[in-house]
């Protein structure tokens, strides 16, 4: 159960690393874990938020790679001598530290605590000045000391005198030489002597051309100068070592300040990397809580293209601890699941989250079973892998955990899979954790509708275009839409009825049993559907018989769940997912619809979307006239007159 990989949190960290400058910061960010401490999470998030404020106003901070600084300080401490290249890196780091100090000092006008990290930097201008005065272009400059300057002046004088002697020889004996210039071989000044004249020039042979026609000879007259140059080079090397050791000792003297600058810059590199990622994602800080509440407004999965991503709106509140998401395949259920989990991991890591607003809870663990998990090496089927994973989740889960389950109960016999799915959800309810699960099982939808603290949600689907809309609607159960798609594409009606009958087990005594779902699916009158049922059974004599239809309607009323019949005229209810308050003006009909008046609008709403808020018996006396609430004054007057007898031209308007 690798949550980092499953929810693709590791990919977010890889994105984050791209915004860090130093290799040390990149390595640190790649290992970042969500924190279990609310105080630490708040501090991390505050740092990201303040860095984002500074970044938005002042642009990119002048970070340095901090290349090899730790290794350089370690070498100096062990008595090593720093090279000119290493001292140049120290100088460059000091300059970068000073630029970052200036950047933060300027940001102090924004009144954010992060800007006062400027006070943690030491300028070290004197050390930088000494290094820059002695080292130029990664070489020790002659001005580094008077002794070095004198030595190098003498070396130039001796070298010049020797070249003059050799050039004079070249001019006087031109026929001896293949070329007319002095060259350098193995650290010695030599002349290019022709093979036939090699015995005419006294000296030491240091090289021969590849053809063998030219000998490179150091004449005897140059040996004395070479010996003098060698002595001067030795003196130069000693003086350079003295200079480098002196500079190394100065670096050691300022080690504490350099280390503090190094560590401060590293901290800021990581914090500003988070700020730059926040700016790229157009993200916001999440409000963290320990009340087990989640609210995401227009959330986007950070790895999806922002332009094509449909925002997610999601909420865990009002005692809800479980959400069951249903809907068509490829409709976005898994993405919604992953988005909630990934944004939670990001928030607990101090990262901003890509949405308009986010309220997220602290989790001691985010446990998920997403993907088929099939393992060839461990000989696990898809179903076995799911169950193995879920068993581990149930062992680990606590009331402060967030559990994400995709395609719950899939990969096995549907009846048994459904039973297992409900048992898993019931166990998670007992554990009191927050959980989100996706499923296609209608029984699991019914479980959510009837269970306290669990709510259905669906991924919207455009029935006209036959395309998923990818946005989540909390409060309603969705459907796979397979039958509807088949209907839209022209599958014959009698085949659809048989498919529905077998899919939902609605056959009773050789006929299709009517229910709310079938009525919504076929969108036909009761008579027409009944006619089709009779035709399919070869019984056409009683087609559209009114008594028969009334009998069927009465039987359907009896089949409605107790919840549907529990609502009474005048009850104050909450309508989901909008969470609007309304009053019952009409009790449940045979379709499972209840008449609700919201403000001045009357609607028929499925009983599953309705929750009792305040019973009518608690608000009205026993013989209360509800026409006062639901009727207009004109209607009430008209009804009063009509009760006394027929009134020509008078009508009651609804």
Q: What's the pLDDT tens digit per position in 141-175? A: 999 999 999 999 999 998 888 888 888 888 888 88
pLDDT at 644: 62
**Is there a contact between 316 and 305 (Cβ–Cβ < 8 Å)?**
no
pLDDT at 141: 94
At 240-285, the pLDDT tens digits run 999 999 999 999 999 999 999 999 999 999 999 999 999 999 999 9
At 295-335, the pLDDT tens digits run 999 999 999 988 878 889 999 877 899 999 987 776 788 89
pLDDT at 376: 36
- Give the pLDDT band (50/70/90) at residue 549: very low
**Is there a contact between 402 and 36 (Cβ–Cβ < 8 Å)?**
no
**Is there a contact between 73 and 259 (Cβ–Cβ < 8 Å)?**
yes
Which among 537, 510, 508, 532 is positioned nearest to 522, based on CA atoms? 532
pLDDT at 26: 96
Residue 235 has pLDDT above 80, yes or no: yes
At 39-87, the pLDDT tens digits run 999 999 999 999 999 999 999 999 988 878 999 999 999 999 999 999 9
Considering the chain, what is the average pLDDT of its residues?
Answer: 84
pLDDT at 220: 81
What's the mean pLDDT in 602-620? 86
Which percentage of the chain shows pLDDT scores above 70? 84
**Is there a contact between 101 and 118 (Cβ–Cβ < 8 Å)?**
yes
Residue 109 has pLDDT above 90, yes or no: yes
Beta strands in 286-418 (DSSP E): 287-289, 294-299, 312-316, 322-326, 357-361, 365-369, 401-405
- Complete domains list, the chain, with CATH: 3-124+254-281 (1.10.1420.10), 146-225 (1.10.1420), 287-480 (3.40.50.300), 484-559 (no CATH), 563-643 (2.30.30.30)
At 456-486, the pLDDT tens digits run 988 887 766 667 777 788 877 766 677 777 8
- Cα–Cα distance for residue pair 447/454, rounded to 1 Å: 8
């Amino acid at each position: 159960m690798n949550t980092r990989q499953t929810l693709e949190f590791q990919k977010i960290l890889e994105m984050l690393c791209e915004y860090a400058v130093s290799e040390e910061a990149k390595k640190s960010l790649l290992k970042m874990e969500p924190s279990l401490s609310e105080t630490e999470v708040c501090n991390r998030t505050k740092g990201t938020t303040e860095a984002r404020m500074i970044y938005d106003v002042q642009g990119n901070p002048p970070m340095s790679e901090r290349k090899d600084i730790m290794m350089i300080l370690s070498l100096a401490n062990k008595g090593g001598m720093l090279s000119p290249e290493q001292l140049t890196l120290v100088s460059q780091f000091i300059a970068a530290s000073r630029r970052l100090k200036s950047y933060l000092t300027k940001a102090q006008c924004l009144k954010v605590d992060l800007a006062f990290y400027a006070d943690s930097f030491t300028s070290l201008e004197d050390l930088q000045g000494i290094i820059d005065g002695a080292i130029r272009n990664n070489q020790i400059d002659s001005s580094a000391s008077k002794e070095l300057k004198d030595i190098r002046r003498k070396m130039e004088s001796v070298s010049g005198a020797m070249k003059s002697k050799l050039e004079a020889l070249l001019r006087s004996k031109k026929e001896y030489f293949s070329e007319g210039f002095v060259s350098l071989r193995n650290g010695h000044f030599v002349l290019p002597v022709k093979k036939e004249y090699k015995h005419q020039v006294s000296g030491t042979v240091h090289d021969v051309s590849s053809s063998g026609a030219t000998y490179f000879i150091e004449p005897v007259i140059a040996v004395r100068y070479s010996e003098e140059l060698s002595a001067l080079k030795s003196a130069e090397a000693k003086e350079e070592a003295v200079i480098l050791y002196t500079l190394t000792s100065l670096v050691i003297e300022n080690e504490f300040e350099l280390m503090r600058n190094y560590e401060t810059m590293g901290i800021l590199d990581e914090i500003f990397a988070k700020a730059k990622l926040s700016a790229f994602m157009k993200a916001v800080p999440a409000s963290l809580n320990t009340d087990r509440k989640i609210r995401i407004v227009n959330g986007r999965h950070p790895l999806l293209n922002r332009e094509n991503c449909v925002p997610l709106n999601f909420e865990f509140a009002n005692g809800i601890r479980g959400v069951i998401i249903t809907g068509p395949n490829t409709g976005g259920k898994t993405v919604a699941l992953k988005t909630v989990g990934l944004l939670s991991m990001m928030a607990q890591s101090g990262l901003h989250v890509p949405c308009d607003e986010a309220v997220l809870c602290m989790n001691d663990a985010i446990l998920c079973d997403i993907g088929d998990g099939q393992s060839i090496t461990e000989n696990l089927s898809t179903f076995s892998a799911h169950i193995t994973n879920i068993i581990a989740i149930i062992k680990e889960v606590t009331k402060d955990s967030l559990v994400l389950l995709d395609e719950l109960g899939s990969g096995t016999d549907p009846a048994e899979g459904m039973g297992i799915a409900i048992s898993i959800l019931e166990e998670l309810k007992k554990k009191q954790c927050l959980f989100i699960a996706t499923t296609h099982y209608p029984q699991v939808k019914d479980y959510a509708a009837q269970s306290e603290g669990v709510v259905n949600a669906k991924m919207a689907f455009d029935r006209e275009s036959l395309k998923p809309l990818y946005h989540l609607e909390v409060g309603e159960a969705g459907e796979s839409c397979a039958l509807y798609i088949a209907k839209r594409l022209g599958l014959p009606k009698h085949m659809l009825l048989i498919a529905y009958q077998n899919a939902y087990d609605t056959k009773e005594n050789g006929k299709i049993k009517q229910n709310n779902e079938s009525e919504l699916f076929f969108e036909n009158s009761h008579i027409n559907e009944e006619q089709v049922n009779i035709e399919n059974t070869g019984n056409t004599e009683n087609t559209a018989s009114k008594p028969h239809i009334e009998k069927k309607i009465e039987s359907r009323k009896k089949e409605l769940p107790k919840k549907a019949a529990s609502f009474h005229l005048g009850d104050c209810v909450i309508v989901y997912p909008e969470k609007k308050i309304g009053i019952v003006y009409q009790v449940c009909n045979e379709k499972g619809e209840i008449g609700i008046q919201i403000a001045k609008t009357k609607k028929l709403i499925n009983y599953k979307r309705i929750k009792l808020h305040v019973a009518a018996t608690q608000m009205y006396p026993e013989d209360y006239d509800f026409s006062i609430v639901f009727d207009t004054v004109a209607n009430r007057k008209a009804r009063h007159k009509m009760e006394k007898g027929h009134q020509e031209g008078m009508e009651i308007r609804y």
